Chains A and B, each alone.
Chain A
């Protein structure tokens, strides 16, 4: 089974801090994704990556950046955290670019910005 591991289940940070959310997958998947989940809005794509050192903006990239230095690891960075970035963050991976491939999700990081 594919395992997608997010480094923290819960995180509390202060406004203005630089925040790193880490995600690792163990199945040699090409694609990795970061979503944010908010009640009533479903999942919204922040950034995705289809290869090492490659990244593409999703639907809501403002205030975020990403890093993919190794194939198995995809990091989400909040450059200067703000209270409106309090949310659940979900990482996912999929085998390749073919659109019929299912995405496999981590258990999420619930981030609170105070």
Chain B
């Protein structure tokens, strides 16, 4: 079975500062990894995904994430955040080669302050 741990439930940050949202996973098989974003009163939107190949993945809105197999991590980063990045971010995992069924972390609420 797989599990996902998002290490911070809330991350406050000032506008234009860098941010890292941490995600660790547990799995006995190889996995695909996803980051989703949820803006207030909306559903989830895909930010980026790691399937294979380069461990640095670039997504929408200037976000990127790095897959680290040895540390079983998939941390999300942005070098300079905007007020509009205020949202909840979810890390998710699914076994590669398995069925399209995601296991989500508990979420990290990013609050960007002016």
Chain B count of residues within 8 A CB distance of the other chain: 28
Binds B, one of A65-73, A74-82, A98-106: A98-106
Binds A, one of B14-22, B43-51, B62-70, B72-80: B43-51
Q: Which residue of B lies closest to A35 (CB)?
A: B104
User: Are B46 and A102 within 8 A (Cβ)?
Assistant: yes
User: Are B100 and A31 within 8 A (Cβ)?
Assistant: yes
Q: Fill in one digit per residue for A13-32: 1 if any B CB lies within 8 Å of its CB, else 0.
A: 00000000000000000010
Candidates B4, B36, B100, B104; contact of A101 at CB < 8 Å: B100
Measured between beta carbons, the chain B residues less than 8 angstroms from A103 are 44, 46, 100, 102
Cα distance, A97 to B97, chains bound together (Å):
10
Contacts known (A40-B106, A42-B105); A106 close to B100, Cβ less than 8 A: no
User: Are B97 and A90 within 8 A (Cβ)?
Assistant: no
Cα distance, A90 to B34, chains bound together (Å):
17
Contacts known (A42-B105, A42-B106, A100-B32); A4 close to B96, Cβ less than 8 A: no
Chain A count of residues within 8 A CB distance of the other chain: 28
Contacts known (A100-B32, A101-B100); A106 close to B43, Cβ less than 8 A: yes
Chain A min CB distance to B86 (Å) = 17
- The verdict on A51 contacting chain B, using a C-beta distance below 8 Å, is no
Q: Which residue of B lies closest to A98 (CB)?
A: B100
Q: Fill in one digit per residue for A51-94: 1 if any B CB lies within 8 Å of its CB, else 0.
A: 00000001000000000000000000000000000000010101
Contacts known (A48-B101, A103-B102); A90 close to B43, Cβ less than 8 A: yes
- The verdict on B98 contacting chain A, using a C-beta distance below 8 Å, is yes
| Residues of A in contact with B (beta carbons under 8 Å apart) | 4, 9, 31, 40-45, 48, 50, 58, 90, 92, 94, 96-108
| Residues of B in contact with A (beta carbons under 8 Å apart) | 4, 6, 9, 32, 34, 36, 41-46, 49, 51, 90, 94-102, 104-107
